[in-house]
Amino acid sequence: MRTLLRLFLLVIVLGLLGGLAFYERPLWVQRQSIHLGLFLAHVHSNYVMTPEGRVHYYEAEPPISGGGVPLVLVHGLGDSSESWAPMLKRLKKAGFHVYAPDLLGYGRSPRPADSDYSMDTQAKFVVDFIQALGLQKTDIGGWSMGGWVTLKVALDHPELVDRVVLYDSAGLAYEPQDISVLFHPADGAALQRLADLLEPHGGTVPAFVRRDALRAFAANQWVVDRSMQSMRSGKDVVDARLSTLVPPLLIVWGSDDQLLPLSVGRQFHDLDPRSELDIVEGCGHLAPKTCPSKVASATADFLKTNPAPSGSVRTLARMH
């Protein structure tokens, strides 16, 4: 009886401690949950040495002979490889060998104080990552700022890239209104505004989550600011170069994206008429995270179809 009572008390204490940890550091608890989910799905957290240092990445390898089709996924501004978690699991099941690095300055990758964190610097970082893994030819996908980085890799090093996928991508001469304010939130209200733009159907972010998110922003704000400075300079926009892209291109866009509206996705498609544009209904800027089933399915279909689909526009009903 005493043993059962002690176990009961232990469960209560652990529950209270867990609740307190979630209240004080909800983002940390969420990250641990993501790490556990990826571990249980046999998605590995690895490191590789590059000229920039010891780079962290997630690797999802399907249990098939030959290791699967290589695919490198590049995250966006102020983010990390963990945001690809829903896609990693699904693309692994679809037969892809997926590598998702933390970009320079983000996640668990190096944060050199003297880097400008420009699109050019991040593109070189991704090229170094691909070469460090020994990949001879890989598909590559990028989300938001990561799409811009991905395009620079494909334009400057077409010999490394087989096919390209963009998810609600930056990279054209279009700047969201007040971007320098949006990604430099000063209080909970500013953070809620950013959340509403990123995911218009996400609802109100709880105050304790906003408080923790503001701490996270402050810790990495200098890296985000340098990346934004590079993007706002316009030096690396790809409008004039997109027609010269060699690899086939898939553009996946949330129909309700409020940060980079669908008109930007259509502009990408117009600049490369060979590309395929897939519009995911009811999804916002975070489509790969909030609508992963449909986005992963569209990705797999494009990357596996021979020859690559060309010139079409499809509207995809939302699926979770």
Q: What distance lies between CA 74 and its chain's CA centroid?
A: 6
User: What are the pLDDT digits (tens) for 242-265?
Assistant: 999 999 999 999 999 999 999 999
Residue whose C-alpha is closest to residue 129's, from 226, 53, 220: 53
> In terms of domains, do 17 and 48 share one?
no
Both 23 and 132 in one domain: the answer is no
Question: How many domains does one find in the chain?
Answer: 2
pLDDT at 89: 94
Give the helix/strand (H/E) hosting 143.
Answer: strand 138-143
CB 287 within 8 A of CB 254: yes
pLDDT in tens, 61-101: 998 756 789 999 999 999 999 999 999 999 999 999 999 99
Can you tell me whether residue 172 is helix, strand or coil? Answer: coil
Which pLDDT score is estimated for 66? 63
Averaged pLDDT, 195-219: 88
Whether the pLDDT of residue 320 is over 60: the answer is no
In this structure, the answer to whether residues 108 and 178 fall within a common structural domain is: yes
- pLDDT confidence tier of residue 218, bands split at 50, 70 and 90: confident
pLDDT band at residue 16 using 50, 70 and 90 as cut-offs = very low
| Contact call for residues 291 and 282 (beta carbons, < 8 A) | yes
Residue 131 — pLDDT band, cuts 50, 70, 90? very high
Q: In terms of residue numbers, what domain contains 24?
A: 1-41
Per the model's pLDDT, the better-predicted residue between 267 and 308 turns out to be: 267
Residue 140 in 3-state DSSP? strand
Kindly compute the dihedral angle of the four CA atoms of residues 151, 155, 158, 164, in this order, to the nearest 10 degrees.
20
This model's pTM is above 0.85: yes
Q: Do 230 and 116 contact (CB within 8 A), yes or no?
A: yes
Output 102 or 65, whichever has higher pLDDT. Answer: 102
Residues 128 and 8 both lie in one domain: no
The token pair that represents 78 in the structure block: 């102020």
Together in a domain, 289 and 225 = yes
> pLDDT band at 3, cuts 50/70/90?
low
Residues 17 and 162 in one domain: no
Identify the band that residue 130 occupies on the pLDDT scale cut at 50, 70 and 90. very high
Q: Is there a single domain that holds both residue 57 and residue 96?
A: yes
pLDDT of 234: 83
Same domain, residue pair 121 and 241: yes
Dihedral (C-alpha) 149, 250, 291, 318: value to the nearest 10 degrees? Answer: 150
∠ CA 49-50-56, nearest 5°, is 60
- Residue with the bigger pLDDT between 164 and 313: it is 164
- The enclosing domain of 220 has a CATH number of 3.40.50.1820
Spatial contact of 299 and 252, defined as CB atoms under 8 Å apart: yes
225 pLDDT tier (thresholds 50, 70, 90): very high
Tell me what pLDDT residue 67 has. 74
Q: How confident is the model at residue 280, as a pLDDT?
A: 97
3 state DSSP class of 51: coil
Share of the chain above pLDDT 70, in %: 91
269: number of CA atoms within 13 Å, CB side? 21
pLDDT band at 10 (very low <50, low <70, confident <90, very high): very low
Give me the mean pLDDT over the 161-166 stretch: 98
What would the mean pLDDT of 15-38 be, rounded to a whole number? 72
Q: Do 261 and 235 belong to one domain?
A: yes
**Is 119 in the same domain as 2?**
no
Element (H, E) at 129: helix 119-133
Name which residue leads in pLDDT, 83 or 201: 83
107 close to 57: Cβ distance less than 8 angstroms: no
- Mean pLDDT calculated for residue range 125-150: 97
> Does residue 21 carry a pLDDT above 60?
no
* pLDDT score for 261: 95
- Mean pLDDT, the chain, as a whole number? 89
Mean pLDDT of 134-140: 95
Q: Which of 212, 207, 181, 171 is nearest to 26 (CA)?
A: 212
Shared-domain flag, residues 183 and 243: yes
- For residues 30 and 50, state if they share a domain: no
In this predicted structure, what is the pLDDT of residue 148? Answer: 97
